[in-house]
Each structure stands twice: as C-alpha cells, then as structure tokens.
Amino acid sequence: MPGSSGGGAVTRSTLRQQIADALRDEVLAGRLQPGQEFTVKEIAEQYGVSATPVREALVDLSAQGLLDADQHRGFHVREYSVADYRGIVEARSLVTDGMFHALEEGRQRFRQVDDARTVAALAGVRRRGEEARRASLAGDLTVLIGYDLRYWHELGSLFGNPYLAEFLHRLRVQSWVCAVQHLRRLTDMRGALWSGHTDLVDAMAQRDIRTARSIVAQYDAHSLDLVEGLARG
C-alpha cells in the first residue's frame, strides 16, 4: 500500500488529478514498488475520499502506463524490463529527433527565438535545467526527477506541437518509472546522473540543432549504459 501522505491537502475540485499526481510521485520516489498491489478502497481510505475520483485517477495512471489493472482485484504498479526501457528510450529519441527535423525545416515556432515570449520561455526552461543539474550533481534523485520532468515538458512545449509534447512527457515519465527501480540501488548517485540540461537549452537558444542532437544522443546512451549496467549487477 502507498505511503502515508496526508489526505487533508486533497480538495474536491482537483481530487482526480491530485490523487493521480500523488500516486505517480509515490512510484517515482520508489515508495510504490513494481508489482505492488492496492485497491480503490485502500486509496480512498488513505485520502479520506470517495471511490469515484480514486478509480478515475487509477484508470488515468493505467492509461499512462504506470499501473496495470487486475480484474476484480485492484491495481498494481507496472513492472518494466530493461528491454522495455530500451524501447522507451528509443521511442523518446524518435520523437525528439522528429521535433529537431521539423525545427530545421522551419515548420515549428521554436525557430523564432527572437520572439519575446520564446526568449522568456527559454529562460524559464534554463532555470529548470539549472535546478535539475544541481540535483543531478548532488545525487538527489527525487529532486532531479521533478525538475527533469518539468524541464523536458516545458522544452517540448516550445516546439509548437502540443500532441508531441504530451507524448514525449508520457514517455519520459515511463522511462523514469522504469529507471528508478535500478537507480535506487546506488548508495551514492553523485556524478552518476546526466546533468547536461543547461547545455541542451543553450544549444537550442543558439539554433544549433546539430549540437542539440548530439547532446540528446549522449544522454540516451548514458541512460541506457547506466540502467543496463545496474540491471546486470
């Protein structure tokens, strides 16, 4: 069963999303382990709410690939293999590369970096990247995941295609869910986690797509090497 998060902070106007967000954070923090089972009733009692918003939140998380439904029994955290991780990294790489390709052809508005709103948005993404980099260098995985997801979601949104941005965000959440079960084995993560967030956003700000592509390729290779190495023990 999930950890003992306080239910008082959950308000009726946002119950479904808040419960989904809280459970997702439990999975990413490693407090909900792969394969761990729970029921709608257990979650509803934990947060002191009715079953309906809980069921809706769990269905949402199942659709996002974080949970699996067990017929007549409840739900469990999805178990991802290393092969799944490789597939997810490949998928997110294809999405990112497609964004870069469209950017090179001028079919996406990120190209207009002189636009004041784009400049301001890039500055915000860079701040997120700075926080992610600090967390990475400090080996603080929980803080890193939070800033990393915000960083990539905001960076993806700048490409001008909300469908691709949301799909990329979903893939990134799934990749973290898969990776975290292995990364938590490290007793000291300082220096082991990717920290090139600011380098990537700087390359994008300079319209240097070639460098941006190289940075993302290095990141993907680093992620795969790290997780596969940990899985092998």
What digits encode the pLDDT tens for the residues 78-95? 999 999 999 999 999 999
SS3 of 77, please? strand
What digits encode the pLDDT tens for the residues 60-81? 999 988 999 987 789 999 999 9
Query: How far apart are the C-alpha atoms of 90 and 7, rounded to whole Å?
Result: 38
CATH topology of domain 82-232: Four Helix Bundle (Hemerythrin (Met), subunit A) (1.20.120)
105, exposed or middle or buried, with CB in 10 Å at 0-12, 13-18, 19+? Answer: exposed
What is the per-residue DSSP string for 179-233? HHHHHTT-S--TTTS---HHHHHHHHHTT-HHHHHHHHHHHHHHHHHHHHHHHH-
Average pLDDT rounded to a whole number, residues 104-116: 59
Query: How far apart are the C-alpha atoms of 182 and 79, rounded to whole Å?
Result: 12
Spell out the residues 6+ positions from residue 123 whose beta carbon is closer than 8 angstroms to its own.
Answer: none
Average pLDDT rounded to a whole number, residues 112-140: 86
CATH 3.40.430.10 assigned to domain 12-77? The reply is no
Instruction: Please give the residue that has the higher pLDDT: either 61 or 207.
Output: 61
Query: Nearest-CA neighbor of 92 among 61, 65, 119, 124?
Result: 65
Average pLDDT rounded to a whole number, residues 200-219: 92
pLDDT at 114 over 70: no
pLDDT at 4 over 90: no
Tell me if 198 sits within 8 A of 133, measured CB to CB: yes
Tell me if 170 sits within 8 A of 64, measured CB to CB: yes
What is the per-residue DSSP string for 5-67? --STT--GGGHHHHHHHHHHHHHHTTSS-TT-EE-HHHHHHHHT--HHHHHHHHHHHHHTTSE
Average pLDDT rounded to a whole number, residues 188-217: 92
* 168, containing H or E segment: helix 162-183
What residues does each domain of the chain span? 12-77, 82-232
The pTM score is: 0.84
